[in-house]
Chains A and B, each alone.
Chain A
Amino acid sequence: MTLQTGSKRRDFLKTAGAVAATSALGAPGIVSAQAKTLNIGVLLPKSGTLAFLGQSCQKGADIAAEVCAALGYKVNIKLMSADFESNVDLSRARAEKLISEGAHMLVGPFDSGAAGAIAQVAEQKGIPFVINIAAAPQITEQGYKFVFRNFFTAPQLIRNGLVLMKDLFTATKTAPKSAVYMHVNDTFGMANKAAIDKLYPTANLGMELKASIAYDPAARDLSVEVAKAKATGADVLMVTTRINDAILLIREMVKQRWEPMGVVNPGSPGLYEAQFFATLGKYSDYCITNVAWSDPKSPVTELAKTIWAKKFPKDPWEGHVLNAGFTIEAIMICADAFQRAGSTDGKALADALRKTRIDKKIMLGAPIEFDAKGQNNGIISACLQNRSGQARVVLPADKAERPPIFPMPGWNNRGA
């Protein structure tokens, strides 16, 4: 018996050719079917020293898809969450894992140190990374093509913060003569310190900066640091904090009976967080933070608040405005880019991100756009003051919910 190899080979080739032609005709359909879902890796510190802040951002991520759908984005978003435990080294590993599991874009991470590490991974892998919150300026100075930041740099944050401090003194007709600056010594804190060193001398605040005191954000006890700050005799305490240390700081100030004219945060988390209000009660009032905030007149803000209230009925939006607001915007930026790119290819998404212009947004400032370095320069700060357990906008005057009170009442003059 002989094998009819010649005819079998011809048949095989005919069949293979038919399959190839069918596949080629069907390919656009296959590609467009594949491009309908965008996998977004959300990297946040949901445990460790930044746990509360990361969880606050995660809640924003949890409602982001619904916000995008309500705004008319016709894309499917699948979130892949990862906790980097407030550990910079772990953030890199988590980013790599998310990418290997199919993330088309990354969003996060709240922390500047982690943002730097994740940016390197994103750039190497060609996966766009949209930063929700991280201020270290060097992140967008590396020439990266796949990193985009919808948040201030530290110099922008501090510049805005110092201008608002001057406006605060003008609005309240006060003239403090000196200040002391306490700050965390992590990447974010040191970036803010560098910005203060550079910008404070030319800010014309009329206050001598008597000392800068660095401390570990994971410190269990800040009694010595607060005692050192108190010993300077400064009129105003300026701070760059995280959350747990902000609580420790105010507690120590009360215990050590230190009553400066005010506690002013030129731009960092801590003093306006829900946990800060819940833990300190009346002692949380009158602290001032100059930072980005939601536009109370934006319909997107109202939409986010409504969806938030349905999803988290026992946790008011007001305690999470900045963290959730920027996280929702970061995911919205991803959805917007995906809709325009029509592809999950990293380069296509990055090209689409570069052409972003989003008018309908949550946070105060100009429409979301990125410059050649991937930085959004249109975000503005508001002056917030804690009043009766909530952060209220007190400046600029046209957005103010109530007038500022400065100097702050003493610790024992705050009622029950």
Chain B
Amino acid sequence: MSDLYLNAALSGALTGLVYGLMALGLSVIFGVVRVVNFAHGEMMTAAMYGAILLSQAFKLDPLVAMAPVAIGMFILGYWLQRGLINSFVTRPEHTQFMLLVAVAIILVNGQLIAFGPNARNVQVDYALDSYQFGSVILDKVRIYAAIAALAVSAALFAFFRFSLTGKAIRACADNFLGAQVVGLDVKRLYALTFGIGAACVGTAGCLLVMLVDVTPAQGPAYTLLAFIIVIVGGMGSLTGALLAGLIVGISEAMAGALFVPSAKSMFTFALLVLVLLFRPQGLLGRTP
């Protein structure tokens, strides 16, 4: 039985890293632009379909397709912010909510028209291979996806920490007025940030499509999952998003192993409730 729990925990942790990358995009967008992207999950399913199309047309492995999909999602996110969302940044939050829910509905139904309702995924040659370490068996795709998620997260951290543009974006997040006073082009930086957040979710989509099937109807479920992870980790905290993704992945797997598999999601919501009750700013969020 202990082998079962160890396998479950490790698999859950690997999946959780991909969840964390997905939520990272949401955290980046909210942390800087202060807009909650209610179309986050739908953007991810769009990226998953992008990976499927590239695999069908050019036989591209999703690990390779990450680059063009991320660029495509960056452009989408950039123009979404610049062309549509920018004028709503200073408006009441409920109007932002309605705008992005409308974007989500358009994305879901567009995917339904383009791809139909049937589940799809990418079958790479190594999809059914696994590594065995003693009594632990881990999927190859899960390991590769987790490593890629960690690498992309590290690159994102490095960008915000060491690059001039990253520092400028952090300045906008810390002090909007101050950033304007020193001459930063805030609108452009907001659009860049939204693009980066979209690129993150695009990358996560390429990784996730190797692990699960995609249907247009899954978008809202991923949006909800991303929200839970960001709230548990702390709104605006990048490390928090990654940590919370890990925790959610492990809790889902362990809940299935220890209790009833069909009640996995229940434990994710229970975790959310506990965090809201005892640490509402999130695990690594700043106390207001």
Quick check: A227 and B8 within 8 Å, CB to CB?
A: yes
Interface size class on chain B is 20 to 34
* Closest Cβ neighbor of A185 among chain B residues: B262
B193: CB under 8 A from chain A?
A: no
Task: Pick from B4, B128, B129: contact of A231, CB below 8 A.
Answer: B4
* B104-128 Cβ-contact flags toward A at 8 Å (1 or 0): 0000000010001111000100011
Stretch of B183-191, B252-260, B269-277 with 4 or more beta carbons under 8 angstroms from chain A:
B252-260
Q: Mark B198-214, 1 if CB is under 8 A from A, else 0.
A: 00000000000001110
- Flag whether B3 is at the interface (Cβ < 8 A): yes
Interface string of A268-287 (1 = CB under 8 A from B): 00000001000100010000
With an 8 A cutoff between CB atoms, is B175 at the interface? Answer: no
How distant is the Cα of A283 from the Cα of B129 in the complex, in angstroms?
A: 13
List of B residues within 8 angstroms of A231 by Cβ: 1, 3-4
Considering only CB atoms, which chain A residue lies closest to B117 in the complex? A47
The CA-CA distance from A224 to B257 in the complex, in Å, is: 6
Bound Cα distance A271, B130 (Å): 23
- B3–A223 touching, CB < 8 Å: no
Q: Flag whether B264 is at the interface (Cβ < 8 A).
A: yes
- Of the residues A185, A223, A275, contact of B253 by C-beta under 8 Å: A223
Main secondary structure of the interface of A (DSSP, over half): helix
Q: Which residues of the other chain, A, contact B117 by a CB distance below 8 angstroms?
A: 46-48, 51
Please name the residue on chain B nearest to A217 by beta carbon: B262
Contacts of A215 in B (CB 8 A): 261-262
Tally of A-B Cβ pairs under 8 angstroms: 79
A254 to B1, CA, bound (A): 20
Instruction: Specify which chain A residues have a CB less than 8 angstroms from the CB of B132 in the assembled complex.
Output: 257
Q: Does B217 reach chain A (CB closer than 8 Å)?
A: yes
Taking CB atoms, residues of chain B closer than 8 Å to A279 are 123
The docked-state distance in angstroms from the alpha carbon of A214 to that of B261 is 7
Q: Which residues of A contact B128 (CB under 8 A)?
A: 251, 254-255, 283, 411
Tell yes or no: A401 within 8 A of B by CB: no
B137 within 8 Å of A (CB atoms): yes
Q: Which residues 1-57 in B have Cβ within 8 Å of A in the complex?
A: 1, 3-4, 7-8, 11-12, 15
- Give min CB distance, B248 to chain A, whole Å: 13
* Shortest distance between the CB of B109 and any CB in chain A (Å): 12
Contact B137 A256 (CB under 8 A): yes
Tell me whether B8 and A256 are in contact (CB under 8 A): no
Task: Show 24 A/B contacts (Cβ-Cβ < 8 Å), sorted by A.
Answer: A51-B116, A51-B119, A52-B118, A55-B118, A213-B261, A216-B262, A220-B211, A224-B8, A224-B11, A224-B12, A224-B256, A224-B257, A225-B256, A225-B261, A227-B7, A231-B1, A231-B4, A244-B119, A244-B213, A251-B127, A255-B128, A255-B137, A256-B7, A411-B128
